[in-house]
Amino acid sequence: MTEKSKRFINRELSWLEFNQRVLDEAQNEANPLLERLKFLAITASNLDEFFMVRVGSLNMMVEQGASGTDAAGLTPPEQMAAIRERCQQMVKDQYDILLNQLEPRLKQEGIVRQHRQELTEKQYQVLQNVIEEEAFSILTPMVVRSDQEFPLLINQSMNVCVQIENAEKERRFVVVPFARTNLRFITLPSESGYQYILLEDALALFIPRLFPGETVLETVPFRITRNADFELREDSASDLMVGMKEVLDARKEGTCIRLETSEFITSDMLRFLCEGLEIDGPEVYAVPGPLDLAAYFRMSSLGGYDHLKYEDWPPLREASLDPRATLFHEIANRDLILSHPYESYDPVVRFLEEAAADPDVLAIKQTLYRTSSQSAVIAALKSAAERGKHVTALVELKARFDEARNIKWAGELEQVGIQVIYGVKGLKTHAKVCLVVRREPSGIRRYMHFGTGNYNESTAKMYSDVSFMTCNPDLGADASNFFNAISGYSQPMKFSKIEVAPIGLREKILELINVETDRKKHGQKARITVKMNSLVDSEIIEALYQASQAGVKVRLNIRGICCLRPGVKGLSENITVVSIIDRFLEHSRIFHFLHGGDDRVYISSADWMPRNLDRRVELLVPVDDRDCKVKLVNTLNMYFKDNVKSRTLQPNGTYKLVEPGNRKAVRVQEYLYSRARKDLEDAERSQRMVFEPHLAAEN
């Protein structure tokens, strides 16, 4: 182990350990069966993006001969070798879980993947009709001759490759892309339960009908992953919208960096695919089961099998909110913290809808990074503009894999008269803030929503995030200055309370850590408690090491990547790192610094990564209201009491499951939902005890 690797864990290997923790949940028999299938699908989807972005980037570095090392002391070729080894084992584990654990259990429950040799006569007839009437009408076989270029295949779409022999014993290959067909899972008639067959298996049965007079020697499914790590060079792009469309086009032709196929493929066909796709053997993943396990998301939501899913936890109304009052009235009376998805995201949407309809609202300013496909947030902004309000929307066109959707939304918003900003040149705007300017009898008042998650009411039901709603005048002034800075070429002014990356957020975090270190050195109480998605930045990690060496207790709840090594004697023995993987994706960023008893509590859009601190526009927002502080700190502390879904990071980079033993079992997500439900029940009970008389109407 090098000196660098003693201090830092490689980022890519740390991410793969995160995906392993998700895979562990697919293997966890305490989880409902279809939820285990969903976790398996998530690991496959995660790996897809990992290959497209991280492996794609490393692959380019290797091709360019880059020899520098990362923070852990590994060169790009060394990282690629370690990734290949880890991924091959992970894929092997995925298929062991699917084929030997999940599918036998699913079969017992009546959910059966049929193989072509197992079809009943009725199933065969139905399948024949589907293939001949639908599939053969949609799919287009493409003959590939040695003197022709291999067809340009869609990234991560399914295909089958067919080897054919004619009467003269001449052989040729045919590629059949599935394109965007939704026929992958074909439902079959059955007397009970749910039976289905995969399109690739069905094609293998009927594809000889496409080649009369010839012999089909082999039909094998395959799937490719292309490098998608293309970013716009903004210094050479005169039109950002046009430039982003060019990036999307470039991804369609990215280098093939992974080939997935069946383990039963012949050497001839594998050689043909590798030569045509220009890919080497180490990037081939030959598997014993269905390709594209991410497609099993749809199976996890199968109707009629509620007993194989989690108990329903519908989002609840935040207990202190009066459903009869407007959000402006509520926020004017006090600051609000909403803990999603336990507490409903509806107030955030309602905040915008009320702002759109309120005649006293003058302006709405909003950042948008990732939104839902049928966005109520977008609809509210359009409604506001149509009612004559001044609406400004910063739509980040560079949000990876959401570029096309954001380009579409930007165009629609412009059509109704909204001032649309396509982000900030050279940076991605990842901050989550909405500012509403309202005219009131006392003058102009600014209402704000700050969040840790995207303005996406769909993911707000699945992601653990925090909303902070306030009309604090200082935060209002800061929010106005923030929008002025990102929308009008103006020099950012000094903010009163918030910090903004890349111009001050890093420095503020380091200052807060160093204050705790100095206090401990002077014999005062000191503690750092943090929840976020990823910890990668080496400068901040070094500051945390110094805090640990001074005796500061540092508790980190890091869902995903963590490059810090905890528990190393003389370096980080006072640092604990936990990770929670459960039914909701942990996504909130909450920071608590003891500060000598004068607690400093923040929410943020930023993880502690170089990209967030140096290459994105991010926000760090203080929460000063006492009740809001208490709620956030209590929430934060509960994450370190979980002994059901928590895993602790070991000094060697692996994770160990925390088990309750003789203690009471604590599952933090279950606790947070139960707390929200109890708070609401108590509030409703208290309200029923108040007698409210009917009064005569005033004349």
pLDDT tens, residue by residue, 448-505 = 999 999 999 999 999 999 999 999 999 999 999 999 998 875 677 789 999 999 999 9
Per the document, the length of the chain is: 699
Work out the average pLDDT over 571-598.
Answer: 97
Residue 502: asked if its preceding bond is cis (omega within 30°), the reply is yes
SS3 100: helix
- Report the alpha-carbon distance of residue 266 to residue 286 in Å, rounded: 11
Q: Helix 11-27 crosses helix 33-50 at what angle (to 10 degrees)?
A: 160
Residue 527: pLDDT band by 50, 70, 90 thresholds?
very high
Domains, the chain, ordered by start: 1-108 (1.20.58.310), 113-279 (3.30.1840.10), 327-497 (3.30.870.10), 501-684 (3.30.870.10)
Would you give the distance in Å from CA 627 to the centre of its chain? 30
Closest C-alpha to 677, from 345, 336, 315: 315
This model's pTM is above 0.75: yes
Strands (E), 228-387: 256-262, 284-287, 336-340, 361-368
Cα separation, 69 vs 583, in Å, equals: 37
Give the tens place of pLDDT for each residue, 266-286: 999 999 999 999 998 889 999
544, pLDDT greater than 70: yes
Question: Residues with Cβ < 8 Å from 663, sequence gap 6 or more?
Answer: 643
Active site residues: 430
pLDDT score, position 395: 87
Q: What pLDDT does 145 receive?
A: 79
Q: How confident is the model at residue 33 (pLDDT cuts 50, 70, 90)?
A: very high
pLDDT (average), residues 169-198? 92
Are the C-beta atoms of residues 97 and 25 closer than 8 Å to each other?
Answer: no
Q: Which residues of 334-344 are buried (b: 16+ CB within 10 A; e: fewer)?
A: ebbbbbbbbbb
* Beta pairing partners, 142: 175
Residue 178 or 603, more confident? 603
First to last CA, the chain: 85
Q: Which pLDDT score is estimated for 244?
A: 47
- CA-CA distance, 447 to 438, in Å (whole number)? 8
Is residue 400 pLDDT above 80, yes or no?
A: no
Please give the mean pLDDT across all residues of the chain.
92
Vertex 621 angle, CA 543 and 423, to 5° = 100
Scanning 358-467, the segments in alpha helix (DSSP H) are: 376-386, 403-415
3-state secondary structure 444-503: EEEEEEEECCCCCCCHHHCEEEEEEEECCHHHHHHHHHHHHHHHCCCCCCCCCCCEEECC
Instruction: Tell me how far apart the alpha carbons of residues 5 and 272 are, in angstroms, rounded to a whole number.
Output: 41
> How is residue 13 written in tokens?
């290997």
| Choice between 698 and 180, residue whose per-residue pLDDT is larger | 180
Burial class (CB in 10 A: 0-12, 13-18, 19+), 504: middle
Residues 25-43: what's their mean pLDDT? Answer: 98
Q: At which residue do the structure tokens 């001839």 appear?
A: 268
For residues 27 and 39, give the distance between their C-alpha atoms in angstroms, rounded to a whole number: 9
Q: Does the pLDDT of residue 176 top 70, yes or no?
A: yes
Tokens 């209201």 found at? 625
Q: In this model, does residue 237 exceed pLDDT 60?
A: no
pLDDT at 97: 98
How far is the C-alpha of 241 from the C-alpha of 421, rounded, in Å? 11
pLDDT surpasses 60 at 242: no
What integer is the mean pLDDT of 412-417?
Answer: 91
Cα 453 off chain centre by: 10
Backbone angles phi, psi at 27, to 5 degrees: -90, -15
- The pair of structure tokens assigned to 247 is 């990036």
Q: Please give the pLDDT value at position 411.
A: 85
CA distance 258 to 283: 5
Residue/partner pairs of 67-70 with CB below 8 Å, 24 or more apart:
69/4, 70/8, 70/10, 70/11
What average pLDDT does this structure show over 152-180? 91
Residue 236: pLDDT over 50: no
